Every structure is written in C-alpha cells, then in structure tokens.
C-alpha cells in the first residue's frame, strides 16, 4: 500500500508541474516508452498519428530502423513524414535519431529504469529539437505503471527557444500477451490529454516478436476540439 501511494504522489507531483493554460499541443502525444531492451535486437517500426483540432487534421508517419549496440543500449533512426493539406499528399518532414539505455536489470530493483535521448532535424529548415529524460516502469500485481519524464529543447528558426517539460504516463493491465488495455496521460506545451489505449505482443521465438499499440487521446483542459489517434507496429528480430 505504501508503494502504491508513493507512486501516486510521484505522478501527481510531476503532473502539477505542468502549466494549466489550455492551448493546442505540439508533439506531446507520441508514445510512452518502456525501459526494456533485448540483447542485440534489431527493430523495424511504423508509427501513424492523426491529430484533429481547430487548425485541421494533421497526419504524421514515422518509419524507423533500430539496432542494439549492446545488451542495454539501442540506437534508432527515423524518417518522419507529414501530409501536405494543400496538395493532399505526404512529404518528408524531418529526420530523428534516438538512443535508449536500459539502466537497471529487469526486476532487480523496486522499479525498472532507463533513459531516452532523441535528436530531430526538420527537413529543409534550420530547426532542431532534442528530447531527453527518464523512463520508469513498475509492476503492481497484474498491472504496470510506466512514467516518462522528459525535457524538450528547440532551437534554430523557432519563435522561442526555451526548455519545456513533458510527462507521459501509462497504466496497463496485463490481461494476456495479445491484448493489454491501458489508460494514457500526456501533459506538456500547455496541454493535458487522457484516453484509452491498447497494446499487444505476438512472440514467434526467443528473438522474433511483433508489437502493436493503439491509443486515442483527447484534451481535457480545453473547450476546443483537440484529439489524437495513434497506432504503431514494431517488429523485433
């Protein structure tokens, strides 16, 4: 009971650190990262995001290849595409490099920890973005609590160069490997959103597995429409 109360207070404290002014989000809803890495794994990943607000319907896709550099570190490279509403077609928006480090052995401590570093360069723009932070996951009975606390900094051709914070939380029920319902919370950039999510995993052997995720996140701090649908497939081999 004390452990659950401590986790709740930890998440509540981080949640209250976020601004309360309601404005549209900018890249806050993405995915909640887990700290785990398979030794020397390789990954192919596809992510799809549809976000609707007063400005229209934004569509994003990411294609990625990742390769573990060791038993605890993995590097991934993304090509990011977005829809041009004027011409109704997809074009390259940017490139992204991601590095994740599994800091603790799974199950050895009261929670599992990792770190995340992302560097993104916008295509044909003098604009960069770096994201870094801590990834934590704690198993509580048949459920799991995953928390990402992130710092985001943009520079180059941007209106303001300032350090921003993001919080991403997933509380998941490990019902069965193929279907695990969850609730996700995202805060940051003057945005607070929450909604249902589902994920699953299909294992083919000790190294090959297919993961999928689906989530619908809606703003809860704004009277205007702002909701996102996200979907991803990840093949590890």
Dist. CA 154–CA 164, nearest whole Å: 9
* Residue 214 pLDDT > 90: yes
Task: Report yes or no: 51 and 228 within 8 Å, Cβ to Cβ.
Answer: yes
Please give the residue that has the higher pLDDT: either 135 or 90: 135
Q: With contact defined as beta carbons under 8 Å apart, do 133 and 114 qualify?
A: no
**Averaged over 52-72, what is the pLDDT?**
92
Position of tokens 């490279």? 77
For each of the domains in the chain, give its residue range(s) and CATH number, in order of start: 2-236 (2.40.160.40)
Share of the chain above pLDDT 70, in %: 86
* Sign of torsion over alpha carbons 21, 58, 195, 148: negative
Is residue 186 a contact partner of residue 193, using CB atoms and an 8 Å limit? yes
Residue 10 backbone dihedrals phi, psi, to 5 degrees: -65, -45
Note the pLDDT of residue 223. Answer: 72
Task: Give the tens place of pLDDT for each residue, 104-146.
Answer: 999 999 999 999 999 999 998 999 999 999 999 999 999 999 9
CA-based Rg of the chain, rounded to a whole angstrom? Answer: 18
DSSP assignments along the chain, one per residue: -HHHHHHHHHHHHHHHTS-------SS--S-PPP----TT-EEEEEEEEEEEETTEEEEEEEEEEEEESSSSEEEEEEEEEEEETTTTEEEEEEEEEEEEEE-S-TTTSSSEEEEEEEEEEETTSSEEEEEEEEEEEEEETTEEEEEEEEEEEEEESSS---EEEEEEEEEEE--BTTBEEEEEEEEETTEEEEEEEEEEEEESSSS-EEEEEEEEEEESS-SS-EEEEEEEEEEE-
pLDDT at 26: 57
**What does pLDDT average to over the chain?**
88
Diameter of the chain measured on Cα atoms: 56
**pLDDT at residue 65 tops 90:** yes
Nearest 5°: phi and psi at 2?
Answer: -60, -40
pLDDT score at 190: 85
Q: Report residue 155: phi and psi, to 5°.
A: -150, 165
**CB of 115 within 8 A of CB of 100?**
yes
Q: Which of 24-28, 62-66, 155-159, 212-216 has the lowest mean pLDDT?
A: 24-28
């Amino acid at each position: 009971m004390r452990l659950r109360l401590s986790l709740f207070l930890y998440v509540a404290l981080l949640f209250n650190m976020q601004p309360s002014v309601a404005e549209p989000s900018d890249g806050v809803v993405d995915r909640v990262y887990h700290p785990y890495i398979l030794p020397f794994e390789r990954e192919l990943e596809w992510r799809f995001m549809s976000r609707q607000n007063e400005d229209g319907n934004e569509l994003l896709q990411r294609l990625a290849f990742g390769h573990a550099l060791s038993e605890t570190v993995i590097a991934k490279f993304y090509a990011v595409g977005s829809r041009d509403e004027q011409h109704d077609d997809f074009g390259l928006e940017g490139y992204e490099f991601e590095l994740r480090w599994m800091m603790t052995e799974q199950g050895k401590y009261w929670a599992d920890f990792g770190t995340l570093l992302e560097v993104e360069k916008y295509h044909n723009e003098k604009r960069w973005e770096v994201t870094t932070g801590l990834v934590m996951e704690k198993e509580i009975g048949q459920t799991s609590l995953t928390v990402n606390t992130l710092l985001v900094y943009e520079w180059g051709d941007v209106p303001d160069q300032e350090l921003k914070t993001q919080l991403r939380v997933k509380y998941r029920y490990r019902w069965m490997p193929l279907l695990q319902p969850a609730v996700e919370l995202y805060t940051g950039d003057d945005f607070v959103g929450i909604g249902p999510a589902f994920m699953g995993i299909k294992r083919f052997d000790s190294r090959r597995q297919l993961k999928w995720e689906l989530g619908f996140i809606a703003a809860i701090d704004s009277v205007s429409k702002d909701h996102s649908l996200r979907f991803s497939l990840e093949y590890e081999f």
